[in-house]
Amino acid sequence: ASAPDFRVVGDGPDGYSNDDPEPWLKIYYIEIVTKDKGKKIGRFGLKSVYAPAHTIVEHKNLPYCLIISEQGGSDLEEFGRTLFNRANRGRLREKFLSGPTMGTGVFGEELNNGSFALISNDDQYSRDDFLIKPEFRRQGIGSWALQELKRHGILFNIDFLFVEPVGTDITYQQRKDVMLIKSKHEQVMGLFHKAGFRRVGTSSYLGYSLKDDNHPSRKLAMEDDCEQLYQPPFGPLFG
């Protein structure tokens, strides 16, 4: 196969602007293409949330911003309500700081500050999900793309990169095939584990520390990471 290339499409300048109705949010679309002919062989979305989203003003905080966002989509909404507690100043849920759902504990209160990006998996927008076309799989392109993303300028001011690994190319007819779905899920999970992503608590999300090479998550071997145990509370406005 031709050597791949990496390009950001359909977005404006980096960073955020005070003139934007949601100045803390920036959305990107990334295409993976062949260098010789520019043929698209993969794509994924990226949603960057900048530090001002953590600002607490009366009832407003990080999960509140993610839930009511008009641009963020359902994946940011789900991310916000799963990991953060609106009732506790929008901070990381206590479940992930102590007790049986703490997991390995490699992620903690540092997630209450700074900026982060979420690799998009929003079924509202089919072009968002992390996807390599079938004929280009098992050639290391997905792993290559993740390494390129980590080095790319769009993450220059981002502290953490998150993803909820799921198999996205499951047809309607395949939805009842439990073993197939499990296999696809494990393949995607393996891709991100090999790229250095580790689980946040016992949630369905994996994270990667972009700025701190000495972050505990960067020192945890992939085989020592924990399994998902925690299920988020029901309802997009809960907690």
Sign of CA dihedral 29, 35, 37, 42: negative
Check residue 158 and give its pLDDT.
93
Checking if the pLDDT of 234 tops 50, the result is no
Band of the pLDDT at 66, cuts 50, 70, 90?
A: confident
Can you give the residue ranges of every domain in the chain? 4-224
Which of 27-31, 56-60, 219-223 bottoms out in mean pLDDT, i.e. has the lowest? 56-60
Q: Token pair 């089919």 is at which residue?
A: 126
pLDDT tens profile 145-174? 899 899 888 898 899 999 998 766 655 666
Tens digit of each residue's pLDDT (9 = 90 or more) over 161-215: 999 987 666 556 666 767 766 777 788 888 899 999 999 999 999 999 999 999 9
User: 61: Cβ–Cβ under 8 A, 6 or more apart, which residues?
Assistant: 54, 55, 84, 86, 89, 90
Stronger pLDDT, 59 or 23, i.e. the higher one = 23
Q: For residues 164 and 113, is the Cβ–Cβ distance under 8 A?
A: no
Q: pLDDT tens-digit profile of 73-128?
A: 888 889 998 998 877 888 999 999 999 889 999 999 999 988 999 998 655 444 54
Predicted local confidence at residue 133, as pLDDT: 80
pLDDT digits (tens, 9 = 90+) for 14-51: 444 445 678 888 888 888 887 776 778 888 888 999 87
Write the single-letter amino acid at 139.
Answer: Q
Higher pLDDT, 61 or 161: 161
Higher model confidence: residue 97 or residue 57? 97
pLDDT at position 20 is 65
**Confidence at residue 11, expressed as pLDDT on a 0 to 100 scale:** 55
Is residue 124 within 8 Å of residue 78, measured between CB atoms?
Answer: no
The CATH number of domain 4-224 is 3.40.630: yes
Give the span between the Cα atoms of 209 and 220, in whole angstroms: 12
Q: Shortest CA distance to 158 belongs to which of 200, 192, 216, 114?
A: 114
Reading the block at residue 159, the tokens are 């502290």
